[in-house]
Amino acid sequence: MESSLKNDAMKLGFGLMRLPKNEDGSIDIPQVKEMADHFIAGGGTYFDTAYVYDSGDSEKAFKEAVADRYPRESYTLATKLNAWLQCHDEESAKRQFYTSLLRTGAGYFDYYLLHALQRNNYKKYDEYHIWDFVKEQKEKGLIRHYGFSFHADPELLEELLNKHPDVEFVQLQINYADWEHPGVASRRNLEICKAHGKPVIVMEPVKGGILADPIPEVKRVFDLSGSGMSYASYAVRFAASLDNVFMVLSGMSSLEQMDDNMSYMENFKPLSPEEEEMILQARKALFDSKEIPCTSCHYCTKGCPMNIPIPEIFTILNRRAGSPEFRTVREYTIVTQDKGKAGDCIECGQCEGACPQRLPVMTLLKKARELEGFGK
């Protein structure tokens, strides 16, 4: 079943997960209002939030900055129901929907998502009957379109789309750094959505800000062009240039970021062949900058009694070393789903005997275990 979604508006969506903050940690509402004004004035309509963002303050900020100040037909709103955070049973999960209606003041949701489906949580949405619940709200006119955001492997995505063919769109993590990353599988997941006729909304196009301020080797690639464009612009336009992409979200934290995004998305132009080559060079620079010279041959994993994805864990260590803000815990969770963790290593030595690079694998796994949020 193909989606009925069409997009004639600007392809940039205002993500409300990283809103500007005051010194006391509260959201800077006056700045959010100004950002929303610039966004709407430039042709933006799509706002994206979630029940769990800032413990609900994100949805409340949307009401103050947009719903209370603009007519309903001037914007579209997406929010999400999370069946595994801030709830403990079916009733509390479903209550999120009504709470979000109240917080946002929107009256209805243009786009409603089951939030962050992964191997370790997707069954909760079945257990709590959330798929049927969302379809019921759509029949009532409280939801215009429904879909889900996804952080897992292509096999699970295929399974979900086969099981729920009436889903109208999917939100995926896509950026040039993760395009071929085995744990994120951006390219493959996008291809699966296209095969099922499901438009894609892109999240994390600048990978939580990492590609907006990348490692020096990547900066040099873009600086050689002399274009003067921001590093973020290449990342956002990479995502927006992809086939079957309906919307690209950018979680903006300042008016400066908003204005930069608007400068190239208000009159969007896909990447030129020369810019596509720059993206390839930037991706290569990211992966050539290695602290651990692992070639991902996987000889070490073939006999690992604990089924630890050693090369994928080393990739995360390398990328974290190149970008201190790299989302270590999230990526680690993805690559170790249904597999062994660094802390599961029993130091049998099989991996070191098999490694062509003669790496001290067991020592490096201990390093991974010692990082915040890792292992045991």
What DSSP assignment string belongs to 312-325? HHHHHHHHHHH-TT
**Confidence bin at 182 (pLDDT 50/70/90):** confident
Which of 41-50, 113-122, 191-200 has the weakest average pLDDT? 113-122
| Exposed / middle / buried, residue 256 (Cβ in 10 Å: 0-12, 13-18, 19+) | exposed
pTM (2 d.p.):
0.81
Task: Give the count of beta carbons closer than 10 Å to the beta carbon of residue 145.
Answer: 19
- Give the model's pLDDT for residue 196: 97
pLDDT tens figures, 338-367: 899 999 999 999 998 877 567 899 999 998
Q: Decide if pLDDT at 159 tops 80.
A: yes
| Integer Cα distance of 147 and 309 in angstroms | 31
Name the one residue in this structure whose structure tokens are 């209002």. Answer: 33
In angstroms, the CA 149 to CA 163 distance is 16
pLDDT given at position 374: 47
How many Cβ atoms sit within 10 Å of the Cβ of residue 54? 19
- pLDDT greater than 80 at residue 125: yes
Using CA atoms, how far apart are residues 27 and 7, in angstroms rounded to an integer?
30
Which of 29-33, 91-95, 319-323 has the lowest average pLDDT? 319-323
Which tokens is 80 given?
Answer: 């999400």
Computed over every residue of the chain, the mean pLDDT equals 91
Higher pLDDT, 4 or 215: 215
Residue 372, pLDDT score: 45
CB atoms within 10 A of CB 352: 16
Question: Using an 8 Å Cβ cutoff, are 260 and 230 in contact?
Answer: yes
Please say if the pLDDT value at position 287 is more than 90: no
